[in-house]
Amino acid sequence: MNYSGIKNKVAIVTGAGEGIGYAIAELLLKAGADVVLNDVDETRGCRAAETLTKGRPGNCLAFSGDAGDISTINAMVDFTLENFGKVDFIIPNAGITFFGDFLSFTPESFQKVLQLNLHGAFFLVQRAAKEMIKSGKGGRVVLMSSQVGIQAYRNLTAYGMTKAALQLMARNLAYELGRYGITINAIAPGATLTERTKKEQPDYEGVWGKLIPRGVVGKPEDIARTCLFLLSEEAAHINGQTIPVDGGWTTAGIYPEDLS
């Protein structure tokens, strides 16, 4: 994929020690961007950055910490500026999923979901946007929503609320930040086979392969390719939009329990 406007840019990707974030960082590096890779697990993040740097034109540096914490966010942007001198792309990919019945969902769980999924994305974009405006060169932001931010899913009310909110965040900030040359869009991944989803559900690939119209679950690379496009010059006039990458699941919304 030879998208223009990626080479020599600087990106921050949170939650990128594995899964979708890792795949996004990998494609950015292959395209010649430099990446600050964040993960809450220091060992996992450092290992990912070391692996990704080998044989690729871009440089990858690890920055560990909770992407929902404001002090981590500010330190991470400072780290990026100190090492690369600028920040062009922001991908707040880090997120947390808590399954739970609405009637018994606790305030503690609710707060944890909001803290990372919304607070983290909001304030990372806010801080980075200030730097982009200061540079006078604009930038790109890609938020990570979800199919359950579009369509209801049992026991995911709190999570789904945060993912729907990110779509409205993209729309609002497209309006607010567009005059500074900053575009902001969201991706809504569907069922995607990652290290996390393999643990969450037995035979994840088999079950969801039957539920998705295309007949297969997504791969992290499917999301990463869409992200790379939205960061590129080819997508310069796309702003404030949400792109589902779900193999068509939200067209019908068949659930695992419908198989029995």
Straight-line distance from the first to the last Cα atom of the chain, in angstroms, rounded to the nearest whole number: 41
pLDDT tens, position by position, 90-148? 999 999 999 999 999 999 999 999 999 999 999 999 999 999 999 999 999 999 999 99
CA distance readout (Å), 249 to 44, 90, 260 = 31, 27, 18
Active site residue 145: yes
Q: Which of 9, 22, 146, 159 is catalytic?
A: 159
Residue 227, amino acid = C
Active site residue 159: yes
pLDDT tens, position by position, 143-189? 999 999 999 999 999 999 999 999 999 999 999 999 999 999 999 99
Place of tokens 């590129």: 232
Burial (CB count within 10 angstroms: exposed 0-12, middle 13-18, buried 19+), residue 202:
exposed
Distance CA 249, CA 258 (A): 13
Active site residue 54: no
99: left (phi over 0), alpha (psi -120 to 50) or beta: beta
pLDDT tens, position by position, 196-222? 887 777 888 888 888 899 999 999 999
Q: Which of 9, 64, 163, 232 is catalytic?
A: 163
Distance CA 205, CA 153 (A): 18
